Amino acid sequence: MGYRWLAWALVAVHFGYLAYLLLGGFVALRWRWTLPVHLAAAGWAVAVVAGHLPCPLTAAQDAARHAAGLPPLTGGFLDSYVRGVFYPRGAGTLAQLVLGSAVLASWALVVLRWRRPWRECWSGRRS
């Protein structure tokens, strides 16, 4: 029973990672110290997707599922929990482009925010 819970906890960690990947740059607008963490998370995502690297969270989840007597995920985390739920099955590339655009937009806002004082940047006043 404990391994089954661990497998589900790893699903939650996976979703947390994806949420942070999408929103972490916006979090860095408020807390600068989070930007290096977000850069690492985004770099890892690019490495996994572009380099076809195995995801350690998926490997850990498969190990927990095996220990619980459950079959491994077919196709990994994205195929099992994300594709077809958050976006249509045939739209993986589009989903990656939207996610990447959101991340880049958040980083652009971070750069704008750090280059100009807060009140000047967000109040609409020009210098």
Domain boundaries, the chain: 2-122
Q: Which of 38-47, 79-88, 92-101, 117-126 has the highest mean pLDDT?
A: 38-47
Phi, psi angles (nearest 5°) of residue 83: -65, 135
Which residues, 6+ apart, have CB-to-CB distance to 35 below 8 Å? 25, 28, 110
* Beta carbons of 33 and 114 less than 8 angstroms apart: no
pLDDT band for 74, please (50, 70, 90 cuts): confident
Q: What is the pTM of this model?
A: 0.78
pLDDT band for 121, please (50, 70, 90 cuts): low
The Cα–Cα gap between 119 and 127 comes to 11
What's the whole-number mean pLDDT along residues 10-34?
A: 91
Reading the block at residue 21, the tokens are 């990947």
The neighbour count for residue 110, using CB atoms within 10 Å, is 19
